[in-house]
Amino acid sequence: MTILVTGSAGFIGSCFVRQHLRCSDEPVVSLDALTYAGHLSTLSEVMDTPAHTFVHASIGDVNAVTAIFREHAPRAVVNFAAESHVDRSILGPEAFIQTNVVGTYRLLECARQYWSALPAEQAAKFRFLHVSTDEVYGTLGPGDAPFAETHRYEPNSPYSASKAASDHLVRAWHHTYGLPVLTTNCSNNYGPYHFPEKLIPLCIMNALAGKALPVYGDGQQIRDWLFVEDHTRAIARVLDAGQVGETYNIGGWNEKANLEVVQTLCALLDELRPKAGGGSYADQIQFVTDRPGHDRRYAIDARKIERELGWRPNETFETGLRKTVQWYLDHQDWVRTVTSRTP
């Protein structure tokens, strides 16, 4: 028994691989294109583990993916591979179309051809789990109910549109060809090994460097925050027990405005790493021009995965953020290394 994990050197994918290999001796073949946000250092804990095999390739590389299926015969694919930064999608959407849409299509086709040739018993147990985002649902008003799995798709950025397209492809490959798929849509993740272009790690490192802490617009954009290890536990649970063809929303039950997140982060830094000259890191907060098409609120209704699969997050926002801040304080060399080759 083996699983194929794509996007394995990224933030969430690497967490899933590390977590899986801590809990199981089932082999993992991990695949990553090692773009700017993918780093083998995120897998250093498992790189020398006999149960782990790393392949440097993209999900769009049909020859490489086909070779993995042929050689390792995985029982499941867990697809984390994606371009995921909204700002980058606004500046250069083509990479998002190529990876998130074309890449997902090619991965689905490789999986379908492999699955269709399996003996009936193995084919019935095969799973293709696609990891997606709450951003496909668009934006919510202040009093709107959180996103449920039945919420219609209304993506507002090139990134979210490309992820919505990939979700639709996964659904179509199930309904048209019978491929046994599962889809998860998660809220904003945070935690160790998050590439420091995203809000929380960016503000931690800027604060320590004495730089401005940029907050878009009025800072009242609301997100539901999910600790990455809670997310990967949920994915493992869906892979093990999710109903084929179903979608499961995964959230942290932690709606916070961006400004509140940054202020809480500053208070933690004031406690854990006080400024040498005194004062608060909050003095470095700077409001900047809002991004185009910035969604105002995301919120996940995660009752289905709790009701059907028994999953709930272990971390509150306060406990998860404290762990995250402490990790970055202890691993500033990692940040310097991964940002040194950022385009």
Q: Is 242 helix (H, G, I), strand (E, B) or coil?
A: coil
**CATH 3.30.420.40 given to domain 3-194+225-254+296-317:** no
Confidence band of 277 (pLDDT split at 50, 70, 90): confident
**Least-confidence region, from 92-101, 234-243, 284-293:** 284-293
Residue among 20, 137, 28, 113 nearest 62 (CA): 113
Confidence band of 37 (pLDDT split at 50, 70, 90): confident
pLDDT exceeds cutoff 60 at 258: yes
Average pLDDT over residues 207-234: 96
Label residue 253 left, alpha or beta by phi (over 0 means left) and psi (-120 to 50 means alpha): left
Please confirm, yes or no, whether 159 is among the known catalytic residues: yes
Average pLDDT over residues 81-98: 93
pLDDT exceeds cutoff 80 at 169: yes
Provide the whole-model pTM.
Answer: 0.96
Tokens read off for 81: 């591979």
pLDDT value at position 291? 86
pLDDT exceeds cutoff 90 at 175: yes
pLDDT value at position 114? 98
Give the rounded percent of residues in the chain with a pLDDT score beyond 90: 93
Please confirm, yes or no, whether 135 is among the known catalytic residues: yes
pLDDT exceeds cutoff 70 at 193: yes
Give me the phi and psi of 184, to 5 degrees please: -120, 140
pLDDT value at position 343? 42
Average pLDDT over residues 25-44: 95
Identify the residue with better confidence: 187 or 293: 187
- Report the mean per-residue pLDDT for the chain: 96
pLDDT exceeds cutoff 80 at 202: yes
pLDDT digits (tens, 9 = 90+) for 67-82: 999 999 999 999 999 9
Q: Give me the catalytic one of 159, 248, 281, 298.
A: 159
Residue 100 neighbours by CB under 8 Å, 6+ apart = 82, 83, 159, 162, 163, 165, 166
Average pLDDT over residues 95-121: 98
Residue among 285, 294, 284, 180 nearest 238 (CA): 180
pLDDT value at position 85? 87
Could you please report the per-residue DSSP string of 45-79? TTTT-TTEEEEE--TT-HHHHHHHHHHH--SEEEE
Q: Give me the catalytic one of 61, 83, 134, 315.
A: 134
Tokens read off for 9: 């050197």
Average pLDDT over residues 130-151: 96
pLDDT value at position 197? 87
Please confirm, yes or no, whether 167 is among the known catalytic residues: no
pLDDT digits (tens, 9 = 90+) for 316-339: 999 999 999 999 999 999 999 998
Strand partners, 223: 256
Q: Give me the catalytic one of 61, 83, 135, 224.
A: 135
